[in-house]
Amino acid sequence: MPSRVVPSDSFRANPTNHHKFLDLSSVKELPESHAWTSQNNDYPFSGGGAADGSSETVPIVDLNSGNATELIGHACKTWGVFQVVNHGIPNNLLEEIEAAGSSLFSLPMHQKLRAARAADGVSGYGVARISSFFSKRMWSEGFTIVGSPLENARKIWPDDYNKFCQTIEDYEKEMKKLAGRLMWLMLGSLGITKEEEEVKWADPKEESESGSGCAAALQMNSYPACPDPDRAMGLAAHTDSTILTVLHQSNISGLQVLREGGNRWVTVEPHPGALVVHVGDLMHILSNGSYPSVLHRAVVNRTRHRLSVAYLYGPPPGVKISPLSKLVDQYNPPMYRPVTWSEYLGTKAKHFDKALTSVRLCAPRVGFVDTNDHSSVRVG
């Protein structure tokens, strides 16, 4: 398999798969266990796109345009999220990964449960890892792939796992190239070049020489149609513990990002052929807070089953991520201590929305909004 194992036992100590599994696609009325109220989420439940009267939309960047670096830099600074077109991922591969997700999630529950993520595991079928931080359950199911999908695919389809595995392998190979390119565009927009010693780990040339390289996880998310979507939550608000995430969300809306001082959700409207890119917490750290990781969530709808596939991209195992020295000086001290991806995932599993704050060295500068300081948010 092209993709490398995420260096992590994190989330293992956080057994979220102990819930009784409910086959959401057969439920006719929203159970109390899945009914969210304002007490379960401090953010306004409504809103999103045009519904709030605003026409503001998430930036769309054409990777073929001459000023892609500047556009990406601006989007990272002001939104923490953007969509990309002309990204080079063949359309048929996007269709194939969606078909692979559909074929997996449409299976009967007992068959999916053959690959249930173990309490101490990272790969497999189950509820979102962050579920344990909430008293209400989310209207979704997920399948996480770290390293080879073979073992779990074989459990699900003992005689027929090849097509699924081949699609995952092809998709990860293409995503790895795209994510690497996007990371360099982000770093380039911060004035960082491949010559710099401290980002040698991010150089694909180094990777082929040392055999190491950036790591990743693939997360397939399924949000069945919901009988009472206004009271349900697909995937609760979170930031990704990554350098960046590339999300394929097909053509059904549901992804929302938090905007402006934390009081407005904006829907990321699906754009034909586009992929969504999230700034993750590790880019937040590398950029010393100038590219804030985006708080996002997924809402559900009454009639359509929605799928999304997230490619969660991070640094190679063992690499300590800290604010880039070019971005710090006596007036802009480093705001975060060095962490490896594995350490950070462990911190996220323990502190969830306080994870970034827990690796912070000093208070944010005056006038600097740390959108990740969600300390006032009640999550349970």
Ligand X SMILES: C=C1C[C@]23C[C@@]1(O)CC[C@H]2[C@@]12CCC[C@@](C)(C(=O)O1)[C@H]2[C@@H]3C(=O)O
Ligand Y SMILES: O=C(O)CCC(=O)C(=O)O
Site of interaction with Fe ion (CB under 5 A): 240
310 binds ligand Y (CB under 6 A): yes
298 binds ligand Y (CB under 6 A): yes
* C-alpha angle 249-270-98 in degrees, rounded to nearest 5: 30
Element (H, E) at 174: helix 162-189
Q: In angstroms, give the least distance from the CB of 187 to ligand Y.
A: 22
Question: Which of ligand X, ligand Y, Fe ion, none does residue 254 bind to, with CB < 5 to 8 Å depending on kind?
Answer: ligand Y
Contact (Cβ atoms closer than 8 angstroms) between residue 356 and residue 293: yes
Contact (Cβ atoms closer than 8 angstroms) between residue 186 and residue 72: yes
Residue 306 annotated to the active site:
yes
Q: Which residues would be at the binding site for ligand X (CB under 6 A)?
A: 6, 8, 11, 122, 128-130, 144, 217, 219, 238, 240-242, 310, 312, 345, 348
Alpha carbon distance 186, 43 (integer Å) = 29
Alpha carbon distance 27, 146 (integer Å) = 30
Among 8, 249, 293, 322, binds ligand Y (CB under 6 A): 249
Alpha carbon distance 265, 258 (integer Å) = 5
Contacts of 8 (CB under 8 A, 6+ apart): 122, 146, 341, 342, 345, 346
- By beta-carbon proximity to ligand X, the closer residue of 192 and 300 is 300
- By beta-carbon proximity to ligand Y, the closer residue of 221 and 371 is 221
User: What mask of x and - would describe binding to ligand Y in positions 14 to 33, judged by CB under 6 A?
Assistant: --------------------
**Interaction residues for ligand Y, span 196-225 (CB under 6 A):** 219, 221
> What ranges make up the beta strands (E) of the chain?
60-62, 81-85, 124-126, 141-145, 215-223, 235-238, 244-248, 255-259, 264-267, 275-279, 296-298, 306-314
Size of the site for ligand Y (CB under 6 A): 12
Q: In angstroms, give the least distance from the CB of 186 to ligand Y.
A: 18
Question: Among residues 129, 259, 297, 306, which one is catalytic?
Answer: 306
Alpha carbon distance 298, 140 (integer Å) = 9
- By beta-carbon proximity to Fe ion, the closer residue of 240 and 281 is 240
The residues binding ligand Y (CB under 6 A) are: 219, 221, 235, 240, 247, 249, 254-255, 296, 298, 308, 310
Catalytically active residues, by annotation: 306
